[in-house]
Chains A and B, each alone.
Chain A
Amino acid sequence: MTKRYVLVHDENKCIGCQACNVACRSENNVPESVTRLQVRIEGPYGNFPHLHFKYNRVSCEQCENAPCVKVCPTGAAYVNDDGIVSINEGKCVGCLYCVAACPYKVRFINPETRVPDKCDFCKESRLARGEEPACVSVCPTDALTFGDANDLNSEVRKLLDTKQNYQQKVNLGTEPRVYRIPSRRGGIKA
């Protein structure tokens, strides 16, 4: 694998404005009834008066050990050289095994193509032109950072080396490439 594209979501900077969600929909022509990207506003957490919300980005995690790729019977779900989990529409029969197997529940059937769809870091459009994914460039608070983690001088690398970060559901061994910088605020269940 020559490139190792990762995305970092800083949950301290995120304000849950959904600009990323809208930009993604417009860039990738995502039909209205479905979505590739959501930022869910969860909470409130903590105890009064120290309440806060959590901003949970929900999109393809581009797992290094992707369950969707493992279960796909035809090889229509595959990982590219750039590490981006991709879909070969021609090989897909629509058995929904990948949709069911995804621990992050981010794959969905595109009502127009009848094929599973999901975030691909805008690889066909923006990435191919050398630009950042739509969600990253539109984010008003710079909560998102995208880049090649194999490049020692990349911004993502510096960020992940210096800031506390976590990935979701690491216990499942999927090795997601979406990293999250946790909110500094604390709290315990009331």
Chain B
Amino acid sequence: MNNIWGSMEQYDPVVWNWIIAVYLFMAGLSAGSMLVAIGLKWYKQSRGLPTEGLPVIKAAAVIGPVAICLGMALLVLDLTKPFEFYHILLNYNLTSVMAWGVIALLVYIPLVFVFAALVFEKQVLHFAPWLAGVLKVCRQLEGSLNKLIFALALGVGVYTGFLLSAMISYPILNTAVLPALFLASAMSVGSAGNILVATLFFSKKESDCIEQVHRIEYPVAFNEALCLVLLFVGLNFSGPAAQAATAAITTGAWASVFWIGVVGLGLVVPVLASTLAPKAWRHTKGFLITVSCSTILGVLALRHFVVYAGQSYIS
């Protein structure tokens, strides 16, 4: 029916769509894989173990730069004026979370390329011998660079959550749990991505230090589940509009995405797989690939659920 006051099309509360969800996923993947790889490196170093050529670190050196660049490409294409995106690099409104994100990414993106170049130093020097001097300097600064990348990766992971939680009228988004949830799920997709790429391309032995990455999966999955519980229990105590928004996990298409994708693929499958699967399976390629793909899909579902269900309920 036509309204006397005109079309309601422009009043659709869902403004940001799947492109933003995939961008948030990519940024989380990149940040998470960096956090896991650098964490692993520190863990090994503190025990005096060698860190050169670890498959998981090689995997992070691929995922880190590739994921963030794909994510940025999506983000720029989604602007209504993609050819004028440079304005965002020139003007900064520091009350905006997005401006802080731009600053973090401006430093983070070149540094993950440096990280990758140091991991694949031989290959880089083979194709670009003229980089030898620069790489030598970077190698000397490697310790500090890793600390800086770790801090920035934390920033990128958290910022993707604050980006959404700054929108005050959406009860599901406007919570302090969201950045923590996004960081936890970034860690889980980062470790899953690292295991997947390491298993597919870099692993020579069956369990090339995938063991240690597995060890962080439980606390990360626990934190992610806890954040989800906090999010929805918190909504229930935050007034009528927020209470109404809890319907996001009980009714509609996004409830299925939540239970099947986020909870099922993202949390239940990985946890059950690593507790119940027979020992003989645990380090087989097929098993590792299946479980990490399940986690990755789960986190992708989480980003879509948060972006769509989050915007569907307005206070």
Contact = CB atoms under 8 A, between A and B. Distances in A.
Interface of A: 16, 18, 21, 33-35, 38-41, 58, 67, 69-76, 90-97, 99-103, 105, 108-109, 114-115, 169, 171-174
Contact of B102 (A41, A73, A102, A115): A73
Contacts of B280: none
Given A67-B167, A71-B167, A39 B5 contact: yes
Contact of A101 (B4, B79, B167): B167
B14 to A, nearest CB: 9
B5 A40 contact: yes
A35 B166 CA distance: 26
A73 B96 contact: yes
21 contacts: A16-B4, A18-B5, A21-B5, A35-B6, A35-B7, A38-B5, A58-B11, A69-B95, A73-B88, A90-B87, A91-B91, A93-B80, A93-B81, A93-B84, A93-B88, A94-B80, A100-B16, A100-B167, A103-B314, A103-B315, A169-B315
Contacts of A109: 80
Nearest to A110: B80
B21 to A, nearest CB: 13
- Interface magnitude class on chain B: 35 or more
A101 B95 CA distance: 13
Interface of B: 3-7, 9-11, 13, 15-16, 78-82, 84-85, 87-88, 90-93, 95-99, 101-102, 166-169, 239, 311, 314-315
Contacts of A72: 93, 96
A173 B166 CA distance: 13
**Chain A binding surface, main DSSP class:** loop
Contact of A92 (B13, B81, B311): B81
Contact of B3 (A40, A73, A99, A115): A40
